[in-house]
Amino acid sequence: MLFSKRPRTDEFEAVAMPHMNDIYRTAARLLGNGAGADDVVQDVYMQAWKSFDQFELGTNCRAWLFKILFHTLNHYRRKWMNFRMIKESDEILEQTPAGSPPSPEHITDEEMMAALAEVPQDFRAVVLLIDVEEFSYKEAAGILNVPIGTVMSRLSRGRKALREKLAGLAESYGIGRTHEEGKSA
Amino acid sequence: MNRIQFGEGGCEKTRKYLDSYISNELMVETNHEVLRHLESCQPCAAELDARTRLRTRLKAAVNAQSVPPELQVRIRANIRSRGSESLGWLPGGWPRWAGAMAATVVVCAGLWVNYSTERMPEVSDRPGQKVYITRIAANLAAILKVGLGDHIHCSIFRKYPKDAPPIEKMQAELGPAYQGLLPVVRAAAPEGYRVIMAHQCSYAGRKFIHLTFERNGSLLSLVVARKEDGESLAGLSPAAEPSGIPLYQSAAGHYQVAGFEAGNFIAYVVSDLRDKANLQIAANLAPGVREFLMKTPA
């Protein structure tokens, strides 16, 4: 029968909609503002809906949506041309003063977001995927279409950058070091 | 990743592998080596603890942000309105020209539907919202349009705070006469839904008591209006009559609008759920809501 199968709207809503919060938060943190994130998330879901016939039920829908998210962000990157590239990221890290972050419990959400916003975008993306969204290295590499070694390197440097940004915050607030480091056993 | 043997310079090696250790990405043997070092090295253990707590704190801070409800609703509406454009139902074995023909027909029909009823205006597009509500309610009985209009105007296009206000604030916004409705409705609310707004509002010259629930981006409203000029649902055919309360329901676009009478009031349950689901929720809410409203002075 020609009209035997219904459109897959229900299936799409069941597997894709529950991840909208994760997609939105990541987009917002990478773009640095909520307004841009609205447009990106809408584009991601429209693109996902159009491509849903290519998605196999039972596979990782969340990773599939994140892959579309980064594809969409790359499109916006080309459009806006304001995303920092790796070389610039290196330079930014070189300028960052060393130090120790304050005790995490003393950091407010706003301070954490401000520090994260200063982490170069390509490193920030990996930190968000691994530390916040809890993807594996392999999954993150697939989402970003980069080798696993690149994920490891960006994660290490992203975490370091975040600690250093928070350390700068601690110094400006007069918060001291919370622990000793660098001693060999 | 390779297995490593820690010996001299254990701290340096541990710090090198700490990121992968935190991410649980080390091989079992290497993981044991790191663990063994951490047991005997207080500075490295403290560094691990600090980094782990920072990771937890970062996750909590990022997760404190939620997608705006109106964005979820807009995306859901756009997907549903474009559902008819999907060719997922085209059976295998049909030639490409058949698909192309079908696509042309479906896209044309979809475009007509989109532009005539379902296209969702932006949050900032106030005139567009008015046109949208008028169009989507075009074939609905006038008495049911009352509830649908306030749901779309207030729940769909309203900007919400990141977190639902405290119960005390919602009770204050309902006012002394209606604050008792909140516990009644919460007790009968569908599973998984949380109240994100409860207040008195007005739309198209009428005042409403309005409670909105949310679950995974799906919004559901209980809208209560005082009857005007002998208004009644009795002219419609009831869809169900649980607990002796006639329930009336019609679809408008992708919304379902259920209504029931309660003395001097008409209550509406409006959502983008399927017809049976919306009617069931109305059936659950009706007894308590009706009892409360019957006691409310005219």
Query: Tell me: the pLDDT tens digits for B108-127?
Result: 444 333 333 345 666 666 77
Given this model, what pLDDT does residue B2 score? 40
The pLDDT-based confidence of B273 (bands split at 50, 70, 90) is confident
Chain B positions in Cβ-Cβ contact with residue A9 (cut-off 8 Å): 79-80, 83, 86
Task: Calculate mean pLDDT across residues B254-277.
Answer: 91
Amino acid at B215: R
Return d(Cα B48, Cα B76) in angstroms, integer.
43
Structure letter (DSSP) for residue A134: -
Return d(Cα B142, Cα B137) in angstroms, integer.
9
Within 13 Å of residue B11, how many CA atoms lie on the same side as its CB? Answer: 14
The third-level CATH classification (topology) of the domain covering B126-295 is Phosphorylase Kinase; domain 1 (3.30.200)
The third-level CATH classification (topology) of the domain covering A9-46+58-83 is Rna Polymerase Sigma Factor; Chain: A (1.10.1740)
Return d(Cα B161, Cα B154) in angstroms, integer.
14
Mark yes or no for CB contact B10/A46 under 8 Å. no
CB A129 within 8 A of CB A158: no
Contact of A145 with chain B, judged by CB distance below 8 Å, is answered with no
Given this model, what pLDDT does residue A8 score? 76
Nearest in space to B55 (alpha carbons), one of B43, B67, B63: B63
Q: Which two tokens stand for residue B250?
A: 């019609």
**Widest distance between CA atoms in chain A:** 74
Return d(Cα B79, Cα B66) in angstroms, integer.
20
Q: Which residue has the higher pLDDT, B224 or B28?
A: B224
Q: Which residue has the higher pLDDT, B105 or B271?
A: B271
Share of chain B above pLDDT 70, in %: 80
Indicate the average pLDDT of chain B.
81
The residue to which tokens 């590239």 are assigned: A85
Cβ atoms within 10 Å, residue B258: 26
The pLDDT-based confidence of B260 (bands split at 50, 70, 90) is very high
Contact of A10 with chain B, judged by CB distance below 8 Å, is answered with no
Mark yes or no for CB contact A7/B88 under 8 Å. yes
**Gyration radius of chain A's alpha carbons:** 19
Given this model, what pLDDT does residue A172 score? 66
Contact of A39 with chain B, judged by CB distance below 8 Å, is answered with no
Structure letter (DSSP) for residue B7: B
B257's enclosing H/E stretch is strand B255-262
Mark yes or no for CB contact A127/B58 under 8 Å. yes
CATH 1.10.1740 intervals, chain A: 9-46+58-83
Chain A positions in Cβ-Cβ contact with residue B275 (cut-off 8 Å): none
Mark yes or no for CB contact A179/B74 under 8 Å. no
The third-level CATH classification (topology) of the domain covering A84-176 is Arc Repressor Mutant, subunit A (1.10.10)
The residue to which tokens 């530390």 are assigned: A131
Given this model, what pLDDT does residue B87 score? 39
User: What's this model's pTM, rounded to 2 decimal places?
Assistant: 0.56
Mark yes or no for CB contact A41/B75 under 8 Å. yes
3-class state of residue A131 by DSSP: helix
Mark yes or no for CB contact B63/A3 under 8 Å. no
CB A116 within 8 A of CB B64: no
Q: How many CB pairs under 8 A join A and B?
A: 157
Chain B: residue nearest A180 by CA? B43
Mark yes or no for CB contact A41/B71 under 8 Å. yes
CB A126 within 8 A of CB A155: yes
Contact of A67 with chain B, judged by CB distance below 8 Å, is answered with no
**Gyration radius of chain B's alpha carbons:** 28
Q: Would you give per-residue pLDDT tens digits along chain A (185 residues)?
A: 333 344 578 788 888 988 999 999 999 999 876 568 988 999 999 999 999 988 877 788 999 999 999 999 988 877 665 544 444 444 444 444 445 666 777 788 888 999 999 999 999 999 999 999 999 999 999 999 999 999 999 999 999 999 999 988 766 655 444 444 433 33
Share of chain B above pLDDT 90, in %: 36
Return d(Cα B107, Cα A96) in angstroms, integer.
54
* Residues written for chain B: 298
How close B40 gets to chain A, by Cα (Å)? Answer: 7
Q: Residue B81: pLDDT above 80?
A: no
CATH 1.10.10.10 intervals, chain A: 84-176
Return d(Cα B210, Cα B188) in angstroms, integer.
16
Chain A: residue nearest B106 by CA? A7
Within 13 Å of residue B225, how many CA atoms lie on the same side as its CB? Answer: 28
Q: In chain A, positions 75-104, which contact chain B (CB-CB < 8 Å)?
A: 100-101, 103-104
What is the sign, positive or negative, of the torsion defined by CA atoms of A91, A96, A97, A101?
negative
**Domain map (residue ranges) of chain B:** 10-63, 126-295
Mark yes or no for CB contact A162/B25 under 8 Å. no
Given this model, what pLDDT does residue B94 score? 43
Q: Which residue has the higher pLDDT, B266 or B272?
A: B266
Given this model, what pLDDT does residue A5 score? 44
Return d(Cα A89, Cα A102) in angstroms, integer.
24
Indicate the residue of A24, A104, A109 with minimum beta-carbon distance to B53: A104
CB A7 within 8 A of CB A53: no
Best of B21, B63, B66, B71 to disrupt the A interface by mutation (most A CBs within 10 Å)?
B71
